[in-house]
Amino acid sequence: MRSEFKALVEALGQHILGKPQQIKLALTCMLAQGHLLIEDLPGMGKTTLSHSLAKLFSLDYSRIQFTSDLLPSDMLGATIYNAQNQEFVFRAGPVFNQLILADEINRASPKTQSALLEAMEERQVSIDGTTYPLPAPFFVIGTQNPTFQSGTYPLPESQLDRFLMKISLGYPDWDAERAMLLGTNQERAMPAMELAQLTAWQMQITNVHASDAVINYILKLVTMSRTTPGFSHALSPRASKALLQAARAWAFMHDRDYLLPDDVQAVFVAVAEHRLRPAYQDSNEDTLLSQRLLDSVDPLAA
Amino acid sequence: MTRWLHNMLSAVKNRLLLKWLAARIPGGRRHSLNMQSVFIMPTLFGGIYFVLCLALFVLGTNYQNNLLLLLCYFFITIALLHMFISYQNFARLQIQAKGISTVYAGDDALFHIQIASHSHHRPSGLLNIKWWGHQKGIVIDLDEDKHHISLPRSTYRRGVFSLPRVTFSSDFPLGLFRCWTHLDFAQPMTVFPALEKHSLKHIPHQTISGDGATRAQGLEDFENLRTYQDGDPIQRIAWKSLACGNQPMIKSFSEPASQTLQLSVNPASRNLEQVISRTAYQVVELSRIQRPFSLQIGSHSYPASSGREHRDKCLRALSTIGTSV
Amino acid sequence: MTAIPFSLPTQGHRATLILSIALVILTLTLHQPLKAWVILMMLCSATIRIYIYRVGQTQRLSSRLINLLAILACISLAWLSRQQGLLEIMVNLLITGCALKLLSLRQRRDFLQLAACALFLVGCALIFHQSMAITLMLSMVLLLIMLSLQQLYAPQLAFKKQLSAILKMGLQALPVACLLFVVIPRLPPLWGMPAGKSTQTGLSDTMTPGDIAKLTQSSERVFTATFDLSVPPPTERYWRAMVLEQFDGKTWQLSPYRKQQQMLQSYGISRLPVVSQSTGTAYQLMVEPSSQRWLYSLNVTGPGNDSTRAKTQFNDDFSVSARQPVMSKQAFALVSDLKAPRPLATSGIDSKINLQLPAANNNERTRRWAAQLRARYSSDDELADAIMTYFANQGFSYTLTPPAMPANPVDAFLFDNQTGFCAHYASAMAYVLRLVGIPARVVSGYQGGEKLTDNVVSIFQYDAHAWVEAAVDGKTWQRFDPTAMVALSRLQYGFQQSMADQHADLPLFSRAGAHDSVLLSSMFSMVDTINYQWSRWVLGFDSDQQDTLFKNMLGKKTTTTLALFGLVILLFITGLLALYFVPRPAQKHADEPQRLFDSLALQLQKLTGIERAHLSARQYLRSLQPVLDKDAFLLFAKFVDTFETIRYLPGKADRKKRTLLRNQHYALRKYLKYRGKGLSVSSTTSA
């Protein structure tokens, strides 16, 4: 792994203890210019993670708490009549920030959800016929509660697809939580990264070489999800693109300028799981759908 | 008498054959077909074809007709090539077991198989798949882009069984020869007991913390109305009371907390199967409504818990009562 | 997925469509022995099949109707069986059966029966036709049948792939089949086969003047003769077929005595005329199927080799016949002495038969004329010459369309019409000679023929001819050709030129008409040459040629050489099969790294018990780390590194890296094989 990233992961690890894999995935997601969905119970450190990320790269940060009565304009902003100047002024909403934590995204009404997701995809906002571009690195961390609760609107599949990855932090292990409680290593300073550095990295990711063998592997995985019975929703071409992009970021983070099947495997569960739906509720199938796909494709067979 | 003898002979034959097969094609999750595991013999049509070749030879000789002889040799060569082609095609198969769905006795379990090729060329033609000794099975076309196959297996009684061998056969390309193999996927099949509807009442409680007075919020029993607070779910507003002009009220429900239900099965019971079926039903129902329960089978007990894992563990235990496993 | 009890789908089922097309082509190719209604029936059921293919089955034919049709067909075939040979009946029956089965095709079993039937019918068609064009046609039918079978067993395979697979299979089979054809010893006929009745072609064994005119119009080939040296001049090429010695005033036919003799001979060994191989003219006849037994020979003829000796019979009247009717193209090797005299039988039976006169008292004028001749010439020689000159001087003419001469045909020809063709001349002359007491008979056969090359001559039906043999000196038979007196050109230049003025009668594109156009004739001669080569090398390849071939290749025939030869042939076939089915090394090379990796993984699995399953190279390496010893692990790590470089790094993997990979592969293999077990100590102890 690149030393820069090692330092980053370590720095973030001081705030979110015992979750290096998730931190790496979150970083990968940022490098790949994708949005991140965190599915977790409250209090697991979602906010901490996004806050640390923002701080790390010195990004403008805002948090939007989604509720059922949140309107699109609350989030995007609105045109307001300024009586002094006698003109309409656009008042940018919280979405005009570089890093946004969209908390409990499935609590908002579908209307608001789709407004956010549209902004995520287009990286611009249209209000009253005027288009306002969103800031340059635009990174959304959405969170949602895992269990079905009353008063929630689960995101439709088409919109889940907009998130590059879905991860969950989960409970920390014994030692990590103990260290957290004791508050031992809180003190080390965060290495402040230049924003330009992040942009430069994002540029470099496209240069990571993907050989035919790896491309074939990705294609096989995607095709397998389409031909296998047991998936009501298979992986879309957008998913395969996302997979390649994420794998490239992962490889780049590990200081390689070429892809290995291992890179694809490392990001596959995070990229693919939320895009898949089982066709039937299997009574005793506990493995993840994406893991099943990984198990049925040989990464070496050309 | 002769029937009895015949049955016994076929049973002996069957057992010898299985023994030989076990040595020749050992079980495993994944099989790549090769010389060791593929059998090839002429089909009935192939037999007729060879008779045809003989007839052509006789005709050709008797009429001293060279073209007929040439045709006869051509046919024989085609048969020879056919043998190689069908083997080559069949041996490209790579078959992997993908697990078997667990069902309740009486339902059809689905055995999932994945078919792939371990060479550049894909195998083609129709493939027959059936259980060992069965007359009927399913036919799939290897040229279709389908890699997953579910082979149904009917179940009659509870227990853990090892799956019998699966027979794969193919007559590709011209049907003169048949390639086949009997594969053992070494997969255990768990069949849960059949469910028999039974009341959930009258299950003995076991109280853990001493007093059963504490009740936790739940979904089961209606408890009382309380005033509405922000954030309460809208579905639970007592509309009737609201319509009367009262303050908005919320219906609240509760269920007994820290009480576990205790299911037990006595393996020595006379109507054991019925008891098992009823208990299985109770296990399933209690898991559905997320009530913790414990299970006692003879001297062995499973501590109280809830959730799917617990349910499956209990059902598995129930299905193996009386068997040595 | 479909249920197993296999019933064929109707609409869009390509296998049935292809099979029905194959059957139609087969039926049309085989039309000759078939009844018209049988052909019609097949066409109808194929049309119904095509309709069903396009539209789907709207209503099912009841099996009762089909059974009824079958019974009707059987009855009518049984009724017709009196006119036809067994073979024709069988073919008719098979085609009828196929047509009915095609109608009621429902299950896979039906389909297979139909396909087997069709395969057999292809064989039957080869009994009736052997020309190259028909053979090519039938190979196509064969291809179609195979295609339909494959379509049955792999319905979803792309059509292009199906076609190429079948073509490949056919092409692969061809060399092996040809090899077997050349090497497997020919057996003599196992038993006599039923011959057809209606298919008999060529000369008939009776000659009533008027018959041969029809033959002359036909341009079918009768036989081809290949001489060892050059072809004798046309005047020597009198191909004797039958000797007709019984005359009833109108018709000449085989004498009953000869028939009896031939019958007796066919059970015993025939007496062979002595013809020296050195002075005789050796040639090979390639006889087209005629369903008749007689063969064609020049003057005095003996067998050219042993196989011909076994299958032919040499008669007392110097004619040659086959022991079995010629049902398919066959070769006969013969040797003729063109100069040898043909003596009369010492028993006097020859002169007795050939002085026989019709019992009926017709041809009054001829008899009177004969008596006059007898009175005028005392010498038999002079008398015969006188008859010949009579034909030359009395204004006789040659025509293919003589008027009918129903009563007293010889009188009418000699004195009234004085026009006719060879049969008239020969018949008249032989009769007159008998009247004057000279033994005489009519020989029917062919004359001349068309030279293909310097030593090959083809004889067609229009070369049919009849001439006279008379024993003027009472001891030997002499040939007289009265036709030559009036139409010498026919004798010298063959039928084609001499008949130039009558060519209007001939069809435009027939071979007989082709001699006008250079293009047509050169085309015909090219086709002839190809057909000739086809006949000579494929159809005429018999046990003698096989023997010669073996002799040339093996030298002496001993058990050892034969065994060795058999072994070589077997090895050759095995080699061919290996060539077909062992994967090409080129393909291996394309994915060499994968192959090397797989072989290592297999070896490591055997050693450690850890399967690669679906792990990537790197993951497998990691999973092996705890169990492998340090050296083995390092070696494998290096290998994996190079493997990944080749596989996943940009740029083409160059030769150097491949060599490196191969070396690392070899090193690890060697290490695992020779140096200890490769397992780490801790794991061995713990295990």
**CB burial string C155-184: b at 16+ within 10 A, e below:** bebeeeebeebbeebbebbbebbebbbebe
Among residues C465, C528, C629, C665, the one annotated as catalytic is C465
Same domain, B114 and B154: yes
Whether the pLDDT of residue C201 is over 80: the answer is no
Tell me if chain A has a CB within 8 Å of the CB of C594.
yes
**Which of A19-23, A217-221, C78-82 shows the lowest mean pLDDT across its residues?**
C78-82
For residues A49 and B72, the model is more confident at B72
Shortest alpha-carbon distance between residue A279 and chain B (Å): 14
Identify the pLDDT of residue B129: 92
Lowest mean pLDDT among A198-207, B121-130, C61-70, C165-174: C61-70
The mean of the pLDDT values for chain B is: 81
A224: nearest CA partner in chain B: B147
Question: Between chains, do A214 and C594 touch, taking CB under 8 Å as contact?
Answer: no
Residues B231 and B261 in one domain: no
d(CA C17, CA C24): 11
**pLDDT for B270-299, tens place per residue?**
888 888 888 888 888 888 877 778 888 877
Q: Which residue has the higher pLDDT, C21 or C461?
A: C21
- Is any Cβ of chain B less than 8 angstroms from the Cβ of C483? no
Judge whether residue C41 has pLDDT over 70: yes
CB contact under 8 A, B235 and A150: yes
Q: Which residues of B touch A150 (CB under 8 A)?
A: 233-235
Which domain does B182 fall in, by range? 23-191
Distance CA C626, CA C613 (A): 18
How much is the pLDDT for A147? 59
pLDDT band, residue B257 (cuts 50/70/90)? very low
Is A60 at the interface with chain B, CB within 8 A?
A: no
Q: Is the pLDDT of residue C471 over 90?
A: no
C616, C649, C650: residue with CB nearest A299: C616
* Whether the predicted pLDDT of C197 surpasses 60: no
More confident site: C521 or B135: B135
Residues B63 and B111 in one domain: yes
What are the chain A neighbours of B114 within 8 Å (beta carbons)? 296
Q: Quick check: is B137 in a domain?
A: yes
Residue type, C318: F
CB C441 within 8 A of CB C468: yes
Contact A227 B148 (CB under 8 A): yes
Cβ–Cβ under 8 Å, residues C618 and C684? no
Residue B17 falls within a domain, yes or no? no
Residue C684 pLDDT = 43
Identify the residue among B148, B236, B313, B315 best suited for mutation to test binding to A, counting A beta carbons within 10 A and taking the highest.
Answer: B148
Which chain A residues are Cβ-neighbours of C614 within 8 angstroms?
294-299
Helix axes A46-56, A3-15, angle to 10 degrees: 140
> Which of the pair, A235 or C12, is modelled with greater confidence?
A235
Helix axes C63-80, C36-55, angle to 10 degrees: 160
pLDDT at B76: 94
Name residue C201's beta-bridge partners: none
More confident residue, C574 or C330: C574
Q: Please determine, for residue C13, whether its predicted confidence score (pLDDT) is greater than 60.
A: yes
pLDDT at C414 over 70: yes
pLDDT of residue C271: 62
- Partners of residue B169 in chain C, C-beta under 8 Å: none
Q: Looking at residue A289, what is its pLDDT?
A: 80
- Candidate list C337, C481, C528, C629, residue with the active-site label: C481
Distances (CA, A) of C453 to A157, C458, C528: 84, 10, 11
Cα of C613 to nearest chain A Cα, Å: 8
Chains that touch C (3 or more CB pairs under 8 A): A, B
User: Does pLDDT of C499 surpass 70?
Assistant: no
Residue owning tokens 């009997």: B182
Q: Pick C95 or C518 by higher pLDDT.
A: C95
Residues B132 and B72 in one domain: yes
Poorest-pLDDT segment among B217-226, B255-264, B280-289, C543-552: B217-226
Average of per-residue pLDDT across C54-66: 75
Q: How confident is the model at residue C490 (pLDDT cuts 50, 70, 90)?
A: low
Chain B: closest CA distance from residue C684 (Å)? 25
Cβ C597–A300 below 8 Å, yes or no?
Answer: yes
- How many structural domains are present in chain B? 3
B99 contact residues in A (CB cutoff 8 A): 285
- C153:B175 CB<8 A: yes
Select from C247, C41, C614, C587 the least CA-distant residue to B121. Answer: C587
B262 plus B233 within the same structural domain: no
Averaged pLDDT for residues C36-55: 87
Query: Cα separations (Å) of B133 from B5, B14, B140?
Result: 19, 9, 19
Same domain, B140 and B45: yes
Q: And the tokens for B17?
A: 């054959």
Question: Do B94 and B224 belong together in one domain?
Answer: no
| CB within 8 Å of chain C, chain B residues 240-279 | none
Pairs of CB atoms within 8 A across A/B: 27
Q: Where is average pLDDT lowest: C484-493, C567-576, C593-602?
A: C484-493
Q: Which CATH superfamily is domain A3-69+96-182 in?
A: P-loop containing nucleotide triphosphate hydrolases (3.40.50.300)
Same structural domain, B87 and B230: no
- Say yes or no: B78 contacts chain C, CB-CB below 8 A: yes
Considering only CB atoms, B148 lies closest to which of A151, A228, A282, namely A228
Q: How many CB pairs under 8 A join A and C?
A: 41
Is the separation of the CB atoms in B117 and B153 below 8 Å? no
State whether the Cα torsion B265-B266-B267-B270 is positive or negative: negative
Check residue A138 and give its pLDDT. 87
Q: What is the pLDDT of residue B206?
A: 61
B124 near C CB under 8 A: yes
**C532-558: average pLDDT:** 78
CA–CA distance, A249 with A206 (Å, rounded to integer): 9
Question: Of C129, C422, C528, C665, which residue is the catalytic one?
Answer: C422
- Contact of B128 with chain A, judged by CB distance below 8 Å, is answered with no
Contact C139, B71 (CB under 8 A): no
Question: Which class for A46: exposed (0-12), middle (13-18), buried (19 or more C-beta within 10 A)?
Answer: buried
* pLDDT value, residue B212: 39
pLDDT at A279 over 90: no
pLDDT band at C138 (very low <50, low <70, confident <90, very high): very high
Give the DSSP per-residue string, A28-89.
Answer: HHHHTT-EEEEE--TTSSHHHHHHHHHHHTT--EEEEE--TT--HHHHHEEEEEETTTTEEE
Please name the member of B98, B114, B233 whose beta carbon is closest to the beta carbon of A151. B233
Mutate to test the interface with B, among A284, A287, A295, A297 (most CBs of B within 10 A): A284
Contacts of A285 in chain B (CB under 8 A): 99
The pLDDT value given to residue C113: 92
Q: Over the stretch A129-147, which tens digit does the pLDDT of each residue have?
A: 888 888 878 888 888 876 5
- Rounded mean pLDDT of C487-513? 51
| Cα of C544 to nearest chain A Cα, Å | 57
Contact C181 B70 (CB under 8 A): yes
Mutate to test the interface with A, among C588, C599, C614 (most CBs of A within 10 A): C614
**Model confidence over C597-626: pLDDT tens digits?**
888 888 888 787 788 877 888 888 888 888
Same domain, B176 and B41: yes
Q: How confident is the model at residue B259 (pLDDT cuts 50, 70, 90)?
A: low
C465 catalytically annotated: yes
> Is A285 an 8 Å CB contact of chain B?
yes
C206 or B158, which is more confident: B158
Most confident of A281-295, C130-144, C219-233, C355-369: C130-144
Minimal-distance CA residue of chain C relative to A296: C614
Check C177 against B77: CB less than 8 A apart: yes
Give which of C159, C570, C576 is closest to B81, Cα–Cα. C576
CB proximity A228 to B under 8 Å = yes
Nearest to C618 among A211, A259, A260 (CB): A260
What pLDDT sits at residue B62?
83
A281 to chain B: closest CA residue: B101
For residues B162 and B225, membership in a common domain is answered with no
Query: What mean pLDDT comes out for the span C327-354?
Result: 81
In this predicted structure, the answer to whether residue B75 has a pLDDT above a threshold of 90 is: yes
DSSP at C395: T
Distance of alpha carbon B123 from alpha carbon A176, whole angstroms: 53
Cβ proximity of B81 and C580 under 8 Å: yes
If asked whether residues B109 and B206 sit together in one domain, one would say: no
Neighbouring C-beta atoms of residue C641, cutoff 10 Å: 16
Residue range A206-296 forms a domain whose CATH class is mainly alpha
State chain C's mean pLDDT as an integer: 79
Which uninterrupted H or E stretch holds B235? none
C653-679 confidence digits (pLDDT tens):
577 888 888 888 888 888 887 755 656
Chain B stretch 54-113, residues whose beta carbon is closer than 8 A to a beta carbon of chain A: 96, 98-99, 101-103
CB contact under 8 A, C153 and B84: no
Asked which of A167-171, A208-212, B218-222 is least confident by mean pLDDT, the reply is: B218-222
Q: What is the pLDDT of residues A84-101, one digit of tens each?
A: 888 888 888 888 888 888
State how far residue C569 is from chain B, nearest Cα, in angstroms: 14
Domain-embedded: residue B3? no
Mean pLDDT of C401-417: 78
Mean pLDDT of C576-594: 72
CA-CA-CA-CA dihedral for B198, B204, B206, B212, to nearest 10: 100
Tell me: pLDDT of C520 over 90. no
> Quick check: is B11 in a domain?
no
- Provide CATH 1.10.8.80 ranges for chain A: 206-296
- Tens of pLDDT, residues B4-40: 888 888 889 888 988 888 888 888 888 888 888 899 9
| C422 has catalytic annotation | yes
Answer whether residue B216 shows pLDDT above 50: no
Q: How far apart are alpha carbons B93 and B183 in whole angstroms?
A: 12
Same domain, B105 and B250: no
Cβ atoms within 10 A of the Cβ of B189, count? Answer: 19
For C385-397, how does the pLDDT look when each residue is reduced to its tens digit (9 = 90+)?
888 888 888 878 8
Highest average pLDDT, of A12-16, B240-244, C118-122, C508-512, comes from: C118-122
Q: How far is A234 from chain B (nearest CA, A)?
A: 14
Of C123, C153, C541, the CB nearest to B171: C153
pLDDT band at A149 (very low <50, low <70, confident <90, very high): low
CA distance A37 to chain C (A): 28
Query: Which helix (H) or strand (E) segment is C243 a member of?
Result: strand C238-244
The size of the B-C interface in CB pairs under 8 A is: 170
Listed in order, the ranges of chain A carrying CATH 3.40.50.300 are: 3-69+96-182
Confidence of residue B253 (pLDDT cuts 50, 70, 90): low
The pLDDT of residue C510 is 46
Asked if C335 contacts C304 with a C-beta cutoff of 8 angstroms, the reply is yes
Higher-scoring residue by pLDDT: C277, C252: C252
What is the pLDDT, as a whole number, of residue C489? 62
Domain extents in chain C: 14-153, 587-686
Contacts of C284 (CB under 8 A, 6+ apart): C225, C226, C304, C331, C332, C333, C334, C536, C540
Higher pLDDT, B89 or C341: B89
pLDDT of residue B43: 93
Q: Is the dihedral of CA B179, B180, B185, B190 positive or negative?
A: positive
Task: Identify whether the C-beta of residue B191 lies closer than 8 Å to the C-beta of residue B159.
Answer: yes
Ordered DSSP codes for B156-203: -S-EEEEPPPEEEEE-TTTSSEEEEEEE----EEEEEPPP----STTP
